[in-house]
Structure 1
Amino acid sequence: MTLSSFLTYSCQGKCSFSLVCLEECMEALDLFLNNHFSESLDKLRPRVKESMYHALIYATVLEMQAMMTFQQDDIVNAGNTMKSAQEVCQRFQIATDRVCGFAEQLQALHADACYAECLLQRAALTFLQDENMVSFIKGGIKVRNSYLIYKELHTFLQSNSSLQGPNHIHLEGGVSFGIGAFNLTLSMFPPRLLKVLEFAGFSGDKEYGLSQLNDGATTNNLRSMLCALLLLCYYTFLTFILGTLLFTTRKPRMRSVWACGLLVGCTVMMICHQAVVLFEDGCKAQQQWKQFHHMCYWELMWCFTYKCVWRMAYFYADLLSNESRWSKAMYVYMKAAYLSMLAPGEARPFGEDEVELFRRVSTFKQKIAGKSPPTEKFAIRKARRYKASCPVRLPVPVLEMMYMWNGFSMISKRPELTEGMLQTLVEAERTLLESPVNEYSMDDRCVIHLLKGLCLKNQRHIQAAEECFNKVYNSEKKIKFDHYLVPNALLELSVVYIDMGRKEEAIKLLVKAKTNYKEYSMESRTQFRIHAALSKLKADTSDQDEITPL
């Protein structure tokens, strides 16, 4: 078949990745991203048994719904639908194995890319749904097979750049998404874990991953939005450097509920009341999938937290605890935490009592991928003290949890918000010093020292911040419960030293935090931050020997 005849064949809609098929899929994706969820599924449904792209996107929409609702029935339905999509892709792989024409070669490449994406999404559902080791192994095998397919496709496209046909941009976009996602994710793993993964055939290059995702996001293909979301997630959540992709995606999509997701992290650079308006608009944009509102509720909760408006923050935590299934233990803990920030005699919303809420936190514990989320474990540990007949109140539970979600980095460019946090901490410290000494006193003081240090660092009071972090470190042997404080104080002190150009001292602190402390709350989060700081130092210095102890 000649290229000319293949183009005609494609345009007639007889191929699983024809122009007609892909145009329909792009239209369905636009409907979905503009909040017309039912219409999107209706457009895709008639061809899910015959078109690999219809099948993949239809299953992807259902998987997104399952991820949001966290309902077992939705997860099972999404898994079965994704399995059917994988079978459709496999059918085209098998069919094209028997022929070697130009059209069939291209179709096989598209089928491979769709098949790899199905594998990856099925693995995610497996980890979400099942807790036994056999399921984890099966999910791991799917991930590895997906990675190998993407790697093979990427190598093939690089070595056969002249082999292009209609809709090639969608194939390149799919491969860019897969290669970029794997490289970026793997590059963020700590070195020891990465060595194990490399032994299993994985490898990760952050810069290459980012470049691949950028290529996929800036071309008009089916995976452009997925690439854009991954990039924004990286730049906002993981580095807190605001990207520009929010403003470069196609305009018809910007009224989408996904605009809410794209705004996550943008609170850093805008006035809080503007962020509140935008997130509220996100909730008004659609009513069909209420679960999308929860992303906005979460961000609104933190917006009001940064402003120290505890009642409004409590209101959104209450909405999440009533409506979202993702982490009820976390939401109930935050409700109790906000109430505890109110004055003792101040009326509580809905007549709720923080002590009773703290005592209930552990009853909502759940497992995802066989493990309890680290933030839930942290919340349960902190709430334990309220189970005593005469509980000892937590001094600043909201601000402590805010640190766990990198909130102090979020407000680092907003001096008035940092000042509000500092005043709250000063008042909490005064109250703590005036209270009778108990078994939690030293831990609570160190919590306040750590958080005060962060505020002072944001205000560029470097010496005062350094003193706060050193107070935590020097109290190591006196800390009884909150063992996470010391490695995090060392980490934050190293960040101060990095900013001051004291790289050798920073490296020593990071190595100490990395190697001397184990099995503390939120350890993975701290280890990832240590790894990121060391990677930055390694990139900035020409003396590689300084980092060899890692």
Structure 2
Amino acid sequence: MADSVTFFFSLNVKFSHLFLPCFARNETPSLNIIQMSLQACLDECMEALDLFLNNHFSESLDKLRPRAKESMYHALIYATVLEMQAMMTFQHDDIVHAGKTMKSAQEVCQRPSPQLHAEVCYAECLLHRAALTFLQDENMVSFIKGGIKVRNSYLIYKELHAFVQSDTTFRGPNHKHLEGGVSFGIGAFNLTLSLFPARILKLLEFAGFSGDKEFGISQLFTGATSHTLRSMLCALLLLCFYTFLSFILGTGEGEVEEAEQLLKPFRLRYPRAVALFEDGCKAQQAWKQFHHMCYWELMWCFTFKRHWKMAYFYADLLSQESRWSKAMYVYMKAAYLSMLPDTESRPFGDNEVDLFRQVPTYKQKIAGKSPPTEKFAIRKARRYKASNPIRLPVPVLEMMYMWNGFSMISKQPELTEGMMETLLEAERTLQAAPENEYSVDDTCVILLLKGLCLKNQGQMQAAEDCFRQIYSSEKKLKFDHYLVPNALLEMSLLYIDTGRKEQAIKLLQKAKNNYKEYSMESRTQFRVHAALTKLKADTNVRAFVSR
């Protein structure tokens, strides 16, 4: 117990700046009054969160707003809702307003209050403010300020987690909410950091960060399965990892069963959170930006089915309504139209050549940099600048690969078969056309995608041959240099599936170390890192990986 008291004292000293106003005024509110007030605040915030998650957005904000200047939890949740709205609208004024509201919430956390709860709310505010800083400004000073906020948040979460673990005797009636907040912060940091490639992680470790994937997942799962204020945040982050990040930045396996298990209690608590994307658009009209996530998923669903016009329809909706990535949406519109036969009419009188030429005009910056997918789209669209452009062979399927779509359809044979038909047709068209400066690159694009389809169909040798042909064409490629490291990555994943793990490691190391400055490099590096991490978990090859 003495150790925990010492630790608590050191915690007070480290973060005493939060509570100096209280001590300066000699205010010592009784614990009972604070506790009762805290209980009432948490109950009301839980009610507001339930309203929000049942699509009653205005009612949720109305419940939080009156006490947002006096209660740290009201202030935090109110600012968080505004931040979510700002990130969806992507309007500068909304982002600025959310940032100011979150700063105000941080100031509320510095007033006299239950100290540990104030610490965890303060850390959460810092994290949110950092995210908004990255979105709002593009200059280096903003990056530094945002980075400092992230690091301070991380350090507070680490201290709080150590204290909660060290003193199991400290258990007030609202302790579960405190633990839920710590679980969210520690889990989010550990899981996120564990996804970074080794070279980035080394820099972060130098700055004091560290990430453990399994520990992060366990913390988030603990937070998600306890009925606390942060349980939904924990669940959403886990669901994002299981159904999105593990596909896009991982080896494409996903954790669908875990996601479904995690959703069960929340679907009972929030029955209006419907499962189908179409119903999701009908469930509420207050925040139209939620529809955009549904449009995005529907676009890919129709892509997988090769319903190009329906996919185009949702890309068109996104290009008109969403501010997130107009360059990407316009590129996808053009790509879908290019998949249609020349004789087939184009919707709304659109023309793919004109659309491809518009793509660079929508270039933007997020957190100071152009999104990699936008850079990729702009590079691919360049060939349409010419008066007689040479068409891209399968731009939709190529972008589908960038989002790891071939892994997503791996257990749907009919979808893979359809993709293979499209690729074989594109291959025949390419072979019949006169040779040009793009011929080798276009051939290798088709080979990469064919290899993925063959792998899905269990034709491992044929798939390997496709990947090897790309590697042997390395010196002939003029534009799509991303193809070689990705072919090595896909061949290594094939080797892992067929038990050739040492060969897989050699290819992964080659993809990791021998290629730089190519399109979507960071995403490829994330996937390489995920594959190596997966191999490290195998005790038989752990020593070999670490060489």
Same fold, TM-score > 0.5, yes or no? yes
Deviation at 1:191, TM superposition (A): 1.4
Match of 1:310 among 308, 331, 338: 308
Please name the residue that 1:9 is paired with: 33
In structure 2, what is the equivalent of residue 197 of structure 1? 204
Match of 2:150 among 129, 143, 151: 143
User: Could you tell me which amino acid in structure 2 is paired with residue 363 of structure 1?
Assistant: T
Residue 41 of structure 1 is matched in structure 2 by 61
Q: 1:359 is matched by which residue type in structure 2? A: R
Which aligned pairs between 1:283-294 and structure 2 lie closer than 5 A? 283-294=281-292
8 Å CA contact 1:116–1:149 kept in 2: the answer is yes
1:38-85 Cα deviation digits (max 9, x unpaired): 100000011011100000000000000000000011001000000000
Query: How far is the alpha carbon of 1:542 from its aligned partner?
Result: 3.2
Deviates more, 1:535-544 or 1:456-465: 535-544
Deviation at 1:9, TM superposition (A): 3.3
Shift of 1:360: 0.3
The alpha-carbon deviation at position 194 of structure 1 amounts to 1.2
> Does the CA-based 8 Å contact 1:28-1:40 persist in structure 2?
yes
The answer to whether the aligner puts 1:401 opposite 2:399 as a matched pair is: yes
The answer to whether 1:78 aligns with 2:85 is: no
- The one-letter code matched in structure 2 to 1:177 is F
Secondary structure of the residue aligned to 2:344 is: coil
Partner of 1:271: none
**Counterpart of 2:186?**
179
Return 5+ residue gaps in structure 1 as ranges.
97-106, 264-277
Structure 2 counterparts to residues 108-507 of structure 1, below 5 A:
108-239=115-246, 240-242=254-256, 243=258, 244-249=261-266, 251-256=268-273, 278-507=276-505
Residue 442 of structure 1, CA deviation: 0.5
- Structure 2 distance, partners of 1:7, 1:30, is 28
1:23 counterpart = 2:43: yes
Distance 1:385 1:427 in 2: 21
2 CA distance for matches of 1:253 and 1:143?
32
Give the secondary structure class of the aligned counterpart of 1:540. Answer: coil
The residue that corresponds to 1:269 in the other structure is none
**Whole-angstrom distance in 1 between the partners of 2:420 and 2:262:** 33
Contact 1:327 1:376 in 2 (8 A): yes
Q: Normalization by structure 1: what TM-score?
A: 0.91
Equivalent pairs counted in the alignment come to 509
Does the aligned pair in 1 maintain the 2:338–2:352 contact within 8 Å?
yes
Aligned partners of 2:184, 2:229: CA distance in 1, in Å?
10
Q: 398-407 or 539-548: which moved more?
A: 539-548
Counterpart Cα distance in 1 of 2:111 and 2:436:
68
1:282/1:296 contact within 8 Å kept: yes
Alpha-carbon distance between aligned partners in 1 of 2:203 and 2:399, rounded to the nearest angstrom: 32
Conserved in 2, the CA contact under 8 Å of 1:7 and 1:166? no
User: Counterpart of 2:243 in 1: which secondary structure?
Assistant: helix
Partners in 1 of 2:48 and 2:213 — Cα distance? 32
Partner SS state of residue 436, structure 1: coil
Secondary structure at the aligned position of 1:424 is classed as helix
For residue 195 of structure 1, report the CA deviation from its aligned partner: 1.5
Q: What letter is aligned with 1:27? A: E
Separation (CA, whole Å) in 2 of partners of 1:86 and 1:69: 23
CA distance in 2 between partners of 1:76 and 1:467 (Å): 53
Is the 8 Å Cα contact of residues 535 and 542 (structure 2) preserved in structure 1? no
Q: 1:424-450 CA deviation, whole Å, 9 max, x = no partner?
A: 000000001011110001100000000
- Tell me: higher relative CO, structure 1 or 2? Use CA pairs within 8 A at least 6 residues apart: 2
Report percent identity of matched pairs: 78
Determine the structure 1 residue equivalent to 2:250. Answer: none
- Given that residues 416 and 457 in structure 2 are in contact (C-alpha distance below 8 angstroms), is that contact kept between their aligned partners in structure 1? yes
In structure 1, give the amino acid aligned to 2:512.
K
4+ residue runs of structure 1 moved beyond 6 angstroms?
none
Report deviation, 1:6: 7.4
- How far did residue 252 of structure 1 move? 2.8
Deviations 1:85-104 (A, max 9, x none): 00000123xxx6xxxxxxxx
The separation in 2 between residues aligned to 1:544 and 1:323, in whole angstroms, is 48
Amino acid at match of 2:171: Q
Q: Do the aligned partners of residues 250 and 304 (structure 1) sit closer, same or farther apart at CA in structure 2, a change above 3 Å counting? A: closer
Q: How big is each residue's C-alpha offset from its partner over 1:363-421, in whole Å with a ceiling of 9 and x where there is no partner?
A: 00000000000000000000000001110000000000000011111101111001000
Shift in alpha-carbon separation, 1:56–1:135, aligned structure 2, 3 A: same
Aligned-pair distance for 1:255? Answer: 1.6
User: CA separation in 2, counterparts of 1:511 and 1:504?
Assistant: 11
User: CA–CA distance in 2 between the matches of 1:544 and 1:362?
Assistant: 45
1:36 is matched by which residue type in structure 2? H
Tell me the residue number matched to 1:56. 76
Letter in 2 for 1:519: E
The residue type equivalent to 1:385 in the other structure is: R
Contact 1:378 1:521 in 2 (8 A): yes
CA contact (8 A) 2:481 2:519 kept: yes
Partner of 1:274: none
- The answer for unaligned runs of 5 or more in structure 2 is 1-28, 247-253
Q: Which residue identity is paired with 2:237? A: L
Residue 496 of structure 2 aligns to which amino acid in structure 1? I
Give how far 1:543 is off: 4.1
**Partner letter of residue 265 of structure 2?**
T
Distance in 1, Cα, partners of 2:287 & 2:339 = 33
Kept after mapping to 2: 8 A contact 1:10/1:20: no
Match of 1:527 in 2: 525
Q: Following the alignment from structure 2 to structure 1, what is the Cα–Cα distance between the partners of residues 239 and 396? A: 26
Q: Which amino acid aligns with 2:302?
A: F
**CA shift digits 1:463-505 (9 cap, x unpaired):** 1111111111111111100000000000000000000100111
Look up the match of 1:89. Answer: 109
